[in-house]
Amino acid sequence: MIKIHPIPAFNDNYIWIIHNQHQAVVVDPGDALPVLRYLDDNNLQLVTILITHHHNDHVGGNAALLEKFSVPVYGPGNESIATLTHRISEGAEIQINELSLSLRVLDTPGHTAGHIVYYGTINENSVLFCGDTLFVCGCGRIFEGTALQMYASLQKLMSLPDTTQVYSTHEYTLGNINFSRTVDPNNTSLENLEIKMKELRHRGIPTLPSSIATEKANNPFLRCDQPEIISSVSNHVDQALSEPVEVFAALRQWKNTF
Ligand SMILES: [Zn+2]
């Protein structure tokens, strides 16, 4: 049985660790210290590091982890990350033999120009490690790409099976739901999700993983072709929008100043 565990880091990051009680893979170790502590406490040996994009809160722990463990570091081929040993992009298949794990790489530019995500099957569930591309009821800020790129990246993730478990790297859920409820006030599914997520946070429990089905039903950034989102965003910008990608661009802009 493989376990997927969130190691909290900084204010609101999660460093996901995938392990079989002996060997472990970490995704986006922005800080080495909590990872080393978790490995030590659980008698785990690090065997692989996976990176989604170059931001320091995702790669900052690589050097210190590599001092202790000489392991492969996979990451986006067209981003400048000094500690990578394997530069990869869409179509790559990563085999992690220690965990009998195979992960497929997808390109999801937008948050950064070379952002990638990892998709595979763990314990018979589809799983997605999506970095800062998709959050519960939100998506990453568009720092380096265009709105069109980010929109296409999110559409690509939406094409994965509905049951896919979504492992994002930040606990942004309650803030995102607050914004989503403003955009989409009559969505009863979203209303119910808010109750559930507030309860989890109240008890100090991470709101992740989400699922593709949950995001399709609640995340306004994935619902830019729905009449209620189109109308709400059009009202906000005081302009009749119709193309989903225009709606998406205006919605992302709205969130930036919310
Ligand atoms: Zn980032």
3-state secondary structure 132-170: CCEECCEECCCCCCCHHHHHHHHHHHHCCCCCCEEEECE
pLDDT given for residue 222 in this prediction: 98
Q: Any catalytic annotation for residue 55?
A: yes
pLDDT given for residue 5 in this prediction: 98
pLDDT given for residue 233 in this prediction: 98
pLDDT given for residue 149 in this prediction: 98
Q: Any catalytic annotation for residue 86?
A: no
- The residues with which 96 forms a beta bridge, in sequence order, are 101
pLDDT given for residue 33 in this prediction: 98
Distance 56 CA to ligand 1 centre (A): 8
- The residues with which 26 forms a beta bridge, in sequence order, are 17, 49
Say if residues 39 and 45 touch (Cβ distance below 8 Å). yes
pLDDT given for residue 82 in this prediction: 95
Distance 53 CA to ligand 1 centre (A): 7
Out of 19, 28, 31, 55, the active site residue is: 55
Distance 178 CA to ligand 1 centre (A): 21
pLDDT given for residue 13 in this prediction: 97
Task: Pick left, alpha or beta for residue 100 (phi over 0 → left; psi -120 to 50 → alpha; otherwise beta).
Answer: left
pLDDT given for residue 126 in this prediction: 98
pLDDT given for residue 164 in this prediction: 98
Mean pLDDT (10-residue bins), the chain, 258 residues = 97 97 98 98 98 98 98 96 97 97 98 98 97 98 97 98 98 98 98 98 98 98 98 98 97 97
Say if residues 34 and 18 touch (Cβ distance below 8 Å). no
Distance 240 CA to ligand 1 centre (A): 32
The sign of the dihedral angle between the CA atoms of 221, 171, 73, 17 is negative
